[in-house]
């Protein structure tokens, strides 16, 4: 064997060895996208004192729920209290996303800022959550180009006067939920919508000084009874409120003269509580009023306002002014009639 043949053989051996060594090194697959988080903790930090701000809270809640559902993620959303900032909590990792008005986005730093949503608001994420932000921006861009985008946005953000509105096909962003739950208790969905309009103006974050919250202004004890853990959630709030209202309708079925009167008694109890309305009914019967008609029953309200009413034995819960409750019944029934006018079946 010549020297050149020996050299060629050595080179060939080295090449084979190198090829074998390379084959032992794990091959890197093409770059895969970073996985998204499985659960999103989000806060909507938008001033709710104005009607526009309150409506924007509901719109952002809807968008984030839709985004999470699209990705198969779970989501926990809360509304920030007034004069609180969650940006530091975002940076510290206590929450994953924070919604703020677009006009406030220039005042924040050291966070990722989403593309503006309909030129109204932005969502913030931590530095490092680039994959999540990229995916969110991509989804919102597609959403704004989708066929139903304008209709849904307007249902959340366009305000209207019930008593001046022209006929329309949509009363609120929650019409489908309202219809389904109204069907479950066998009432006109527009009556349930009228209750929600009176209670919250379709603002999911509405909260009363008494502690009632959500679209149907459920008191904490009532909400807990019906399994509501998130008062912001439109689905659970409407479902619980509808079940409670259905229970009240059944309670006064044998008392009321007809369907409209049942609605009035149920509305009164929804506002003041069953105990108060039962007191009214007992006193009305004692005074020989026709207890089947709400307008007859409330004729005893002047007596209900006097301490001496306790001497009758008909009243258990004490005096009751009833001004707010009678106005509530009148208002809801008036809104219901208008909803029937502007949104025929």
Annotated catalytic sites, by residue?
199
CA-to-CA separations, 26 to 21, 22, 23, 29, 35, in angstroms, rounded: 11, 9, 8, 9, 22
Q: Torsions phi, psi of 51, nearest 5?
A: -60, -40
Number of other CB atoms surrounding residue 143 within 10 Å: 18
Q: Which two tokens stand for residue 91?
A: 């940076």
Exposed, middle or buried: residue 251 (CB in 10 Å: 0-12, 13-18, 19+)? middle
DSSP state of 123: E
List, as own/partner pairs, every contact residues 216-219 make where C-beta atoms lie below 8 angstroms and the sequence separation is at least 24, other chains included: 216/240, 216/241, 216/242, 217/241, 218/244
Helix 323-342 with 189-200: angle, nearest 10 deg? 130
Helix 51-71 with 149-157: angle, nearest 10 deg? 140
Please, are residues 264 and 256 in contact by the beta-carbon 8 Å criterion?
yes
What DSSP assignment string belongs to 174-234?
THHHHHHHHHHTTS-HHHHHHHHHHHHTT-TT-B-TTS-BTTTTB-HHHHHHTT-S-TT-H
């Amino acid at each position: 064997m010549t020297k050149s043949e020996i050299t060629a053989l050595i080179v060939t051996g080295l090449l084979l060895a190198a090829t074998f060594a390379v084959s032992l090194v794990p091959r890197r697959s093409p770059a895969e996208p970073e996985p998204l988080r499985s659960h999103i903790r989000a806060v909507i930090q938008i001033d709710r004192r104005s009607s526009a701000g309150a409506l924007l809270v509901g719109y952002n809640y809807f968008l984030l729920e839709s985004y999470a559902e699209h990705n198969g993620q779970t989501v926990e959303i809360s509304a920030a209290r007034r004069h609180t900032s969650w940006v530091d909590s975002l940076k510290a990792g206590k929450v994953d996303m924070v919604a703020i008005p677009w006009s406030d986005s220039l005042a924040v730093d050291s966070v990722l800022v989403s593309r503006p949503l309909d030129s109204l608001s932005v969502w913030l994420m931590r530095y490092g959550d680039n994959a999540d932000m990229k995916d969110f921006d991509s989804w919102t861009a597609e959403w704004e180009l989708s066929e139903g985008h304008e209709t849904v946005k307007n249902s959340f953000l366009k305000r209207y006067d019930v008593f001046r509105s022209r006929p329309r096909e949509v009363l609120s962003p929650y019409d489908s939920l309202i219809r389904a739950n109204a069907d479950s208790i066998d009432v006109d969905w527009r009556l349930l919508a009228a209750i929600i309009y009176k209670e919250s103006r379709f603002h999911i974050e509405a909260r009363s000084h008494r502690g009632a919250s959500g679209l149907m202004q459920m008191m904490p004890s009532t909400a807990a009874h019906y399994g509501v853990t998130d008062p912001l959630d439109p689905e659970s709030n409407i479902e619980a409120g509808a079940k409670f209202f259905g229970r009240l309708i059944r309670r006064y079925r044998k008392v009321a003269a007809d369907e409209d009167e049942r609605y009035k008694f149920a509305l009164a109890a929804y506002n003041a509580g069953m105990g108060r309305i039962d007191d009214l009914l007992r006193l009305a019967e004692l005074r020989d009023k026709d207890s089947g008609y709400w307008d007859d029953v409330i004729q005893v309200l002047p007596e209900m306002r006097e301490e001496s009413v306790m001497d009758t034995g008909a009243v258990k819960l004490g005096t009751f002014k009833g001004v707010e409750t009678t106005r509530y019944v009148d208002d809801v029934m008036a809104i219901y009639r208008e909803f029937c006018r502007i949104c025929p079946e």
